[in-house]
Amino acid sequence: MRKLAVVIALVLLLAVASFANYQDVDPDHWAYESVMNVTNAGLFEGYPDGTFKGNQAMTRYEYAMVVNRFLRYVDSADSRLEELIYAHVGTGVPANIAEFEGKLNAQAQEILALKRRVTDLEVTTKLLGQSIAKQATSVAALEKEIVDLAFSATVAFDQIDANIARLDMIEDRIEDVKADFESTKGNYDELISTTALDVYRLSRGKADKTTVDALAARLATLETELDDITFTIFDFMDANTDLTFSRIRDLEDQIAMLESSINGVRADLDDNMDIIFDFMDANTDLTFSRIHELEESIAAIEGEFEELDAKIESNTDFLYRKISIVDEDNKKAIDSLNASVGSLDDGLRTVRRDLTDLSVTVKMLGQASSVHNTRIADNRADLNVLRLDMEELADLTYDLSDEVTGLSKLTYMMLDVFTEELEELDAKKADKEDLAALEDDVSELRSKTESFGAAINVATIIALIGMVFSTISLFY
């Protein structure tokens, strides 16, 4: 992808005026600019007749040619770009870049260490929060228990109030019964008075016997009713009094139990609250101490971050200045590259013209190749005849080889004889007898030896030629 982007950028930025106008591509055509760009980049080229044939399908051969040009263009552009960048940018890299990277790495390690410290402090704070939450849960449970006891006490007090109200109603009823009793008693007293008066009158003879009997019956009835009312009142009072006292005792027992439970819960709550407050005091002191440490650590971290920001800002300014310098160098390098690419495009145009001439030459060579193939067929027939001749020559060579072998043996024999004669001559020469005759004999012997050696060389050469031809015949 990087190479493709580089190629596309170079094609778009470095495209120059078209060196060829296709006959079948109108300048108003919607693809005219694209056709000219890829042509100028050397990726496409027209046909020898000066046409582009944009509506014609591309063959696999043409596609292979385009891809090959594209790959070569990518490799050359990428290598040129890397060379230029290395030549112009590499020299602009600050000498202390390694030191700067080392400082950045050290600062990154310090930041990681500070982050770990902050994480540990956060974990400690979280544990303290969980402990306080547990204590708060215990306090909430105790508060709920107190609320439940208070509710039970409220219910008990409400029941006591209801019983007291009922007692008040009973007392009112008793007062009503007493009032009725007093009224009945008044009526009874009045009746007694009336009866006594009637009896007195009767004793005085002023009342008849029927009236007296009626009064006596009425008196007996009133006495019976009075007794019933009296017994009913006392029974009711006894029953309600016993029930009221029993309920009062039960309520008193319940109140005593509630008071005991409330006192126990209050004592437990006081103990737990003391423990909680002690724990909270201890943890509060520890928490405040750790918070103070956290604040100091955070302040130190902030100071380090400020120093780091200042260093980064300083280094960033330095890098920006260097980048601006490198950008200027890159612009100059790109201008130089554009000039180089322009000259390269001129060279590519020349190469394309040479390739066009070469394609014509290849076509001519193709035509000549057919004639050459015909000649090759004729030559093959001649070679077959020559092979037969070579086979016969090989047979002769083998025969000659036997003769050469015999000649070699004879040569060795003659050499032995000549050696013996030379030894004798040397002996004669050593004895200094007939020196002139001896020198003539030596010269004659040397001439014979040279002639014989030449004959041996000729025979050897002939044998070698025969072996060569026999070897050639084996390949055919």
Contact 218, 210 (CB under 8 A): no
Average pLDDT for residues 457-461, to the nearest whole number? 66
Task: Mark whether 255 and 353 lie in a shared domain.
Answer: yes
Query: pLDDT tens-digit profile of 213-252?
Result: 666 676 677 667 666 766 666 666 666 666 566 766 776 7
> What is the rounded (10 degree) CA torsion for 314, 319, 324, 328?
150
Where is average pLDDT lowest: 165-179, 192-206, 279-293?
192-206
Listed residues 70, 100, 130: the one ending a domain? 100
CA–CA distance, 47 with 386 (Å, rounded to integer): 47
pLDDT at 30 over 90: yes
Check residues 372 and 166 and name the one with the higher pLDDT: 166
Q: Is the domain of 322 the same as that of 253? A: yes
- Residue 50 in any domain: the answer is yes
Last residue of a domain, one of 51, 77, 100: 100
Same domain, 290 and 243: yes
Q: Does 261 reside within a domain?
A: yes
Any idea which of 178-192, 301-315, 370-384 has the lowest mean pLDDT? 178-192
- Going by C-alpha positions, the residue among 274, 263, 292 that lies closest to residue 135 is 274
Q: Of the candidates 298, 300, 294, 304, which has an alpha carbon nearest to the alpha carbon of residue 123?
A: 294
pLDDT score of 110: 77
Statement to judge: residues 340 and 408 lie in one domain: no
Same domain, 244 and 361: yes
Which is nearest to 259 in space by CA: 385, 108, 149, 339? 149
Q: How far apart are the first and last CA of the chain?
A: 55
pLDDT at 162: 77
Does 349 share its domain with 414?
no
Mean model confidence pLDDT for the chain: 69
pLDDT band at 203 (very low <50, low <70, confident <90, very high): low
pLDDT band at residue 19 using 50, 70 and 90 as cut-offs: very low
Predicted local confidence at residue 341, as pLDDT: 52
pLDDT at 210: 67
Quick one: pLDDT at residue 89? 53
Q: For residues 253 and 359, state if they share a domain.
A: yes
Give pLDDT tens digits for 46-102.
888 989 888 888 899 988 988 888 888 777 776 777 676 666 555 554 555 666 667
Task: Say whether both 342 and 388 belong to one domain.
Answer: no
pLDDT band with cut points at 50, 70 and 90 for residue 189? low
With respect to residue 58, please indicate whether it lies within any of the assigned structural domains: yes
> Residue 279: inside a domain, yes or no?
yes
112 in a domain, yes or no? no
What pLDDT is recorded for position 7? 46
The stretch 285-292 carries a mean pLDDT of 65
**Distance, CA of 403 to CA of 389 (rounded, Å):** 21
What's the pLDDT score for residue 99? 67
Q: What band does 29 get if pLDDT is binned at 50, 70 and 90?
A: very high
Give domain status of residue 93, yes or no.
Answer: yes
pTM of the predicted model over 0.75? no
Distance CA 423, CA 102 (A): 93
360 and 244 share one domain? yes
- The interaxial angle of helices 32-40 and 2-13, nearest 10 deg, is 110
**Domain span holding position 284:** 239-365
User: Final residue of a domain: which of 100, 120, 141?
Assistant: 100
Q: Which amino acid is at 204?
A: R
Q: Are residues 269 and 357 in the same domain?
A: yes
pLDDT (tens digit, 9 = 90+) per residue, 291-348?
Answer: 667 677 677 777 766 776 677 677 666 656 766 675 676 566 566 556 655 655 665 5
Q: What is the pLDDT of residue 14?
A: 40
User: Which pLDDT belongs to residue 251?
Assistant: 67
Does residue 397 lie in a domain region? Answer: yes
Give residues with Cβ within 8 angstroms of 197, minimum separation 6.
Answer: none
Residues 331 and 411 in one domain: no
**Which residues are within 8 A (CB) of 134 and not within 5 positions of it... i.e. 6 or more apart?**
none
pLDDT at res. 32: 92
pLDDT at residue 33, rounded to an integer: 92
- For residue 412, is it within any domain? yes
Region 109-138: mean pLDDT is 77
Q: Is 45 left (phi over 0), alpha (psi -120 to 50) or beta?
A: beta
Determine the Cα–Cα distance for residues 342 and 19; give it in Å rounded to an integer.
12
Same structural domain for residues 256 and 347? Answer: yes
For 468, residues 6+ apart whose C-beta sits below 8 A from its C-beta are: none
Instruction: Supply the pLDDT for residue 272.
Output: 65
Question: CA angle, 420 as apex, 419 and 426 as ends, to 5°?
Answer: 85
Q: Which of 180-194, 289-303, 413-427 has the lowest mean pLDDT?
A: 180-194
Quote the number of domains for the chain: 3
